Structure 1
Amino acid sequence: MSRRPNRFADRTALVTGSSRGLGLLIAQRLAERGCRVMLCARDTSELAFAESRLRGRGFEAASLGCDVTDDDTPRNLLAAVHDRFGQLDILVNNAGIIQVGPLEALTEDDFRRAVETMFLAPLRLTLAALPDLRTSTAGTLVNVSSVGGRIAPPHLRPYAAAKFALAGLSQGLRAELSGTGVSVTTVLPGLMRTGSHTAARFHGRPGAEYGWFAAAASLPLLSMNAERAAHPVVRAAELRRPEIVLTPAARLAVTLQGIAPATTTRVLGLTARLLPAAGAHPRREVPGTTASAESGLPTSVTALGDRAGRQLGEPEPGL
């Protein structure tokens, strides 16, 4: 039986938010498929770790520290790719931020930052990259949205709003670019064990918010091993699939939303009532590492998520 040809061999990929977590694993999987990989993220020390991890495994990788929300970032990233590797063939928009808390504890600026990071930044970078992708014989755009971009969970409003926008953009781009040779794949992950609970920012009652979010992002029945997620993401992009939904829970939620949207809304409403209230004096922007100490959550509950975070570059709880 003959194998499918490797469409990504000897290609150049740019992955945003690739210093840790799913972005790093996608970059590693692309490198395993024969890609030259440009990494980018804000934290230069984490980027150095990620680049050394790939290069230590014999892969061709480079990195550039940047904030994807800066207006100059698309130009700087494309220049770095061209200087180091030549034409860009694959763009993966993965960078994101997570803000957890009730609506009463959030501000317009929280929504603005989420939209800037997870919608406008991918839009600007995509527009800058399209000339390269159009002339490549393997032009591929991958937008990592979320199941939260299809079903808006409570206490994750800025994140869900931005991911809804990105999912809509991605779906529209696939139709708009049909016939140009550029393939667009939308990725809708559910909760994954990447240590994201330590990188999130918590609002309202941080300890209580951390408790439910960290547990959900760590327990096996609710979350997925991120290393297992990277392979189907890259495979879907290589096969030019329009969309991939990751984790059984996410697939079930998307199916329920399509079949019974009113029931889904009622379930989400009940969930919202069970989550912590903002409290008399809501706090803002509390790091996960601080919120964990206030939560009283046993470390055994987050053991799998914490271990994944250590392996994938997230900060350890309590540090």
Structure 2
Amino acid sequence: MSPLTASPSLQGLSAVVTGGSRGLGLLLADELAARHCAVTIVARDGEELTRAADLIRRRRGARIRTAVCDVRDRTAVRDVLGDTAREHGGVDLVIANAGIIQVAPVEAVGAEEFRSAMDTIFYGALHTSLEALPYLRRSPAGGRLALIGSVGGLLAAPHLLPYSCAKSAVGTLAEGLHAEAARDGVTVTAVHPGLMRTGSHLHAVFGGEREKEFAWFSTVAGMPLVSMDAGRAAKAIVRGVQRRRTRIVLTPAARVAGLAHGVAPALTTRAATLATRMLPSAGDGRRGLRKGAEVGPPSHPVARKVRAWGSALNDRASRAYNQRPV
């Protein structure tokens, strides 16, 4: 089998998922375990990792390895991959998923928020890629690397500018690595999900008029016709990585948005400008960012009811995907 031919099975491969303790990362690890990979999940929070591993073990009966690691630290990433290679005889598949979400108008954030997003999202993906590639090149199955970007990296998302900038850089990194790594038998897949019901609104941080920002973000991210079931998304991503696809864009809305921006960038920018006028103002400016789990519901009763309706599925996902402490 050519190293660039899609394997009929991932069984027995050694896989690493960063940001694997909750949300999409947890579901990706679960899907890889279902395909009989030897999975290592990586995250900063040891307690979250333990809960995540227990969830996957109960569901799949699989042995899950955990590693506490901050992907912003390249040396720590190097150590995790080295330990994983020694434990499993190599590393065959890596998914760089670690990230953060900051939701606020640009007046309510500063350079530090942009730097933080780049450090975790872009440099986290870069460190993971650079440290994984030597092992992936040696994989008998032909290594696979997937970098999780976002539709927010295909076009700028208002009130998510630090996130969009970092995800855009991840998308560029994935495309460049795909071109350069192919000669070594390694495929690199750029993954650009649209909105997914992962429960991530509880760990996102909000600035400006925080209650209103939390309300619109959690509502839109949980609406059935706009967002995607995260379990289905994880299956599609793992299937695409298995088939060595170059690029995966999930949700019809994300595909339309990406295509529209590519064909008519000025028009989509004007549309984003109009959409931004419906979003909250900066309020008192830089009041600081606060995690979604700490932000209360909107004070207006109608807004509270709309948020409760729109976010119901997302709230349910937060309980299922290890977003809430037990």
Task: State whether TM-score is above 0.5.
Answer: yes
| 1:234 corresponds to 2:238 | yes
Output aligned runs, 1:78-93, within 5 Å. Answer: 78-93=81-96
Contact conserved, 1:64 with 1:80, CA < 8 A, in 2? no
Q: Which residue of 2 aligns with 1:72?
A: 75
Q: Which residue of 2 aligns with 1:127?
A: 130
CA–CA distance in structure 1, aligned partners of residues 76 and 299 of structure 2: 37
Which residue of 33, 37, 43 corresponds with 1:31?
33
**Aligned amino acid, residue 75 of structure 1:** R
Moved more, 280-289 or 191-200: 280-289
Q: Which residue of 1 aligns with 2:289?
A: 285
SS of 2:182's partner is coil
CA–CA distance in structure 2, aligned partners of residues 240 and 101 of structure 1: 36
Contact conserved, 2:194 with 2:253, CA < 8 A, in 1? yes
Moved more, 62-71 or 195-204: 62-71
The alpha carbon displacement at 1:294 in A equals 4.6
| 1:99 corresponds to 2:108 | no
Q: Which residue of 1 aligns with 2:51?
A: 49
Output aligned runs, 1:160-175, within 5 Å. Answer: 160-175=164-179
Q: Which residue of 1 aligns with 2:310?
A: 301
Q: Which residue of 2 aligns with 1:254?
A: 258
CA–CA distance in structure 1, aligned partners of residues 286 and 77 of structure 2: 36
**Aligned amino acid, residue 10 of structure 2:** F
Distance 1:281 1:236, change over 3 A: closer
| 1:271 corresponds to 2:280 | no
SS of 1:121's partner is helix
Aligned residues: 314
The alpha carbon displacement at 1:70 in A equals 2.0
Contact conserved, 1:7 with 1:138, CA < 8 A, in 2? no
The alpha carbon displacement at 1:213 in A equals 0.5
The alpha carbon displacement at 1:58 in A equals 1.3
Q: What TM-score comes out, normalization by structure 2 length? A: 0.92
CA–CA distance in structure 1, aligned partners of residues 299 and 175 of structure 2: 39
| 1:222 corresponds to 2:231 | no
CA–CA distance in structure 2, aligned partners of residues 258 and 67 of structure 1: 34
SS of 2:70's partner is coil
Q: Which runs of 5+ in 2 are unaligned?
A: 1-5
CA–CA distance in structure 2, aligned partners of residues 82 and 34 of structure 1: 17
Q: Which residue of 1 aligns with 2:324?
A: 315
* CA displacement, residues 28-49 of structure 1 (integer Å, 9 cap, x when unaligned): 1111112100001111111111
Q: Which residue of 2 aligns with 1:117?
A: 120
The alpha carbon displacement at 1:279 in A equals 1.3
The alpha carbon displacement at 1:301 in A equals 2.6
CA–CA distance in structure 2, aligned partners of residues 244 and 295 of structure 1: 39
Contact conserved, 2:102 with 2:206, CA < 8 A, in 1? yes
**Aligned amino acid, residue 246 of structure 1:** L
The alpha carbon displacement at 1:295 in A equals 5.5
CA–CA distance in structure 1, aligned partners of residues 276 and 57 of structure 2: 45
Q: Which residue of 1 aligns with 2:249?
A: 245
The alpha carbon displacement at 1:129 in A equals 1.2
Contact conserved, 1:150 with 1:164, CA < 8 A, in 2? yes
Contact conserved, 1:211 with 1:292, CA < 8 A, in 2? no
| 1:208 corresponds to 2:217 | no
Contact conserved, 2:108 with 2:285, CA < 8 A, in 1? no
Contact conserved, 2:92 with 2:143, CA < 8 A, in 1? yes
Q: Which runs of 5+ in 1 are unaligned?
A: none
SS of 1:177's partner is helix
* CA displacement, residues 176-212 of structure 1 (integer Å, 9 cap, x when unaligned): 1122100010100011001111110001110011111
Distance 1:5 1:78, change over 3 A: closer
Q: Which residue of 1 aligns with 2:143?
A: 139
Q: What TM-score comes out, normalization by structure 1 length? A: 0.94
**Aligned amino acid, residue 112 of structure 2:** D
The alpha carbon displacement at 1:5 in A equals 5.1
* CA displacement, residues 114-149 of structure 1 (integer Å, 9 cap, x when unaligned): 001111121112111111100112300000000011
CA–CA distance in structure 1, aligned partners of residues 66 and 83 of structure 2: 9
SS of 1:179's partner is helix
CA–CA distance in structure 1, aligned partners of residues 57 and 18 of structure 2: 18
* CA displacement, residues 195-240 of structure 1 (integer Å, 9 cap, x when unaligned): 1111100011100111110111111111110001011101111111
CA–CA distance in structure 1, aligned partners of residues 7 and 95 of structure 2: 21
* CA displacement, residues 75-108 of structure 1 (integer Å, 9 cap, x when unaligned): 2211331242220011100000000000001111
